[in-house]
Structure 1
Amino acid sequence: MKSRRSSFLDRVVQRRALARWREAARAAGSLDLAQLPLLRSDARALRREIDSVLHQVDGRLQMPRIGADSVPAPPTSDWTWRPELWRGPVSPFGVAGAQNRAQLGRELTLFHDCDESEITLRQIRNRHDSDLAPCALRMDVFRFNGSFLSFVLDLPETALQRLHLNHLVRLDMKLELERPLEIFCRLNIKHGPNSEQLVREMPLTQGDSFVEFDLAYTRMNEKRLEKAWVDIIFERPAMNQILLRDLTFSRYPRAEL
């Protein structure tokens, strides 16, 4: 009985709130100018919350299902990972005029040195039958007067557990570009006071592409691993739309010779 009463009262409160905003919409044309800034502020605050709810609800109701985590990887992989932005809704889910160090979710950060940013980031839903990731990242770049533009993705602690010099780390992308673009991927591993870096160029192809980082070419101290992250660097990105439909990592031991 209590739950029914609560549900009924919730609907009553919701109807009253909707009625208040309908009345506000009708009255907005005749209110004193001094009253409009407060009304606008209240309306924008409400819209942000509603947009956030719709973003998450729409995401869960569409395919692929939110939380789907099927990661394509070599059969000998002992670790796989898809970052949260491609698994489900993040907050914020969009940034216009993205400034240096703008973030989407907890794991992805944008870096650039533009004086005036004309960069837009937005998390969108995947809807293709071939998509494994529920979500995607779209970046629109218009005028670009900086010298660098990159994403930084922090890898989870699980990436470092039982990580050895005989491992290969693989980064897979499903990519759509408005025009050809050079993309470089840099794996960074901090061990004690030192850091190792491996750089690979992502093949210039639409669709599925990947790079591999061979840890045998580093002097990584397996006993002092602290942190790992990947830089995804975009060369001359002006006037381009970059759509990352999926991004996954895997790790597997090198075949013995």
Structure 2
Amino acid sequence: MAKLGGNFLDKAFYARSIGRWARAARLAMSADLPSLRKQRLRARQLKAHLDGLIHIADARLALPMIGSTSFPKPHNADWSWRPELWRGPLATPGISSVQTKSMLGKEITLFHDCEVSELTLRQLRNTREADLAPYGLRMDVFRFDGSFLSLVIDLPDAGVTGLKRNHLLRMDAIVELEKPLEIFARLNIKNGPNTEQVVREMPLDQNAITVEFDLAYSNLNERRVEGAWIDLIFEGPEMNQVVLRDLTFSRRPRAQL
């Protein structure tokens, strides 16, 4: 038996089917009502299958591929990571009127002190050829009556295990802003009763941003590292839209002098 779309007979059948539906569409205005009713039912049944096929095909064929962990990283990196929100679809893709400590996925938490939240978070599909991450994050801020707004990304155990003071922790991001604002990245490392913090301002004069945290200048207790997270702190976010097209992390040992 011939497979669909596989040979001359399939192509001929497809052409006849297209021609038949094209003719029915042209004559719909003059068709008798019983015939038109039957055609409408068949067209709706066909459309349901076509819509399902197109939906799945668009998701699978869109660039970049879902689940991708590909991104540029230092050649001597001993760990690299793209959070789940930027890798694949979340069960809950968005939140409106976001309350403080709300999570989108398992690794992203939003903190603020607004009395009335006019914030939204939404995962969006990246389809531009230039994007390496399958998904991005959009944050819309309308009226903002708080004093702080931060997005917290929990680093996985693999990024913390074996962390030393000779490590450089690197964060790469692709950021789009509706209007200019300041964003600070703060690395927090829990070690024993203390939390070591390193703060960097993100250079927003270009979309692709690289920030490095040099742990050599910290008081990190290597033997007591328990966990780490990154705060993205937004200054003056009112009436703005921030899109994080990609967010990746890597670490490498610094060169020995």
Does the pair score TM above 0.5?
A: yes
Counterpart position of 1:194: 194
Question: Aligned partners of 1:157, 1:217: CA distance in 2, in Å?
Answer: 22
Instruction: Report SS of the residue matched to 1:159.
Output: helix
Identify unmatched segments of 5+ residues in structure 2.
1-54
Partner of 1:137: 137
Instruction: Give the counterpart letter for 1:131 in structure 2.
Output: D
Query: Which residue pairs with 2:11 in the alignment?
Result: none
The separation in 1 between residues aligned to 2:149 and 2:56, in whole angstroms, is 29
Q: Hey, what does 1:148 align to over in structure 2?
A: 148
- Say if 1:191 and 1:220, in contact at 8 Å, map to a contact too: yes
Q: For 1:80 and 1:59, locate their aligned partners in 2 and report how far apart those are by CA, in whole Å.
A: 26
- 242 and 75 in structure 1: CA distance in 2 versus 1, 3 angstrom threshold: same
Match of 1:166 in 2: 166
Q: Name the CA distance, whole Å, in 2 between partners of 1:226 and 1:217.
A: 19
Aligned to 2:99: 99
What is the deviation of 1:57? 8.7
**Structure showing greater Rg:** 2
Q: Identity rate of aligned residues, in percent?
A: 62
1:178 is aligned to 2:207: no
Q: CA deviation at 1:62?
A: 2.6
Q: Provide the secondary structure at the position in 1 that maps to 2:169.
A: strand
What is the one-letter code of the residue matched to 1:233?
A: I
Q: Which residue of 1 aligns with 2:64?
A: 64
2: distance between equivalents of 1:141 and 1:60? 31
1:246 corresponds to: 246
Amino acid at match of 1:150: S
Where in structure 2 are the equivalents of 1:1-257 lying within 5 Å? 59-257=59-257
Q: Distance in 2 between matches of 1:74 and 1:158?
A: 17
- Measure, in 2, the Cα distance between the counterparts of 1:101 and 1:227: 18
Q: Is the 8 A contact 1:177 1:206 kept in 2?
A: no
Letter of the structure 1 residue corresponding to residue 229 of structure 2: W
TM-score normalised by L of structure 1: 0.76
Distance 2:199 2:240 in 1: 23
Residue segments in structure 1 that go unaligned for 5+ positions in a row: 1-54
- The superposition leaves residues 95-139 of structure 1 with CA deviations (integer Å, 9 ceiling, x where unpaired) of 011111111000000000111111111000001111100000001
TM value normalised by structure 2: 0.76
In the alignment, what sits opposite 2:23? none
Deviation at 1:88, TM superposition (A): 0.4
Spell out, residue by residue over 1:36-71, the C-alpha distance to the aligned partner (whole angstroms, 9 max, x if none): xxxxxxxxxxxxxxxxxxx99964453211111102
**How many matched pairs?**
204
1:113 partner letter? D
- Asked if 2 retains the 8 angstrom alpha-carbon contact of 1:59 and 1:89, the reply is no
Give the Cα–Cα distance (whole angstroms) in 2 for the partners of residues 204 and 241 of structure 1. 14
SS in 2 for 1:223: helix
SS in 2 for 1:200: strand
113 and 248 in structure 1: CA distance in 2 versus 1, 3 angstrom threshold:
same
Q: 1:82 to 1:196 in 2, by over 3 A?
A: same
Between the aligned partners of 2:91 and 2:253, the Cα distance in structure 1 is 35
2 CA distance for matches of 1:110 and 1:58?
Answer: 31
Aligned mates of 1:115, 1:57 — CA distance in 2 = 43
Please state how far the C-alpha of 1:195 moved relative to its aligned partner.
1.2
Between the aligned partners of 1:106 and 1:81, the Cα distance in structure 2 is: 15
SS at match of 1:64: coil
Q: Whole-Å Cα distance in 1 between the matches of residues 144 and 214 of structure 2?
A: 33
Does the CA-based 8 Å contact 1:87-1:134 persist in structure 2?
A: yes
What CA distance in whole angstroms lies between the structure 2 residues aligned with 1:57 and 1:104? 26
Deviation at 1:256, TM superposition (A): 1.6
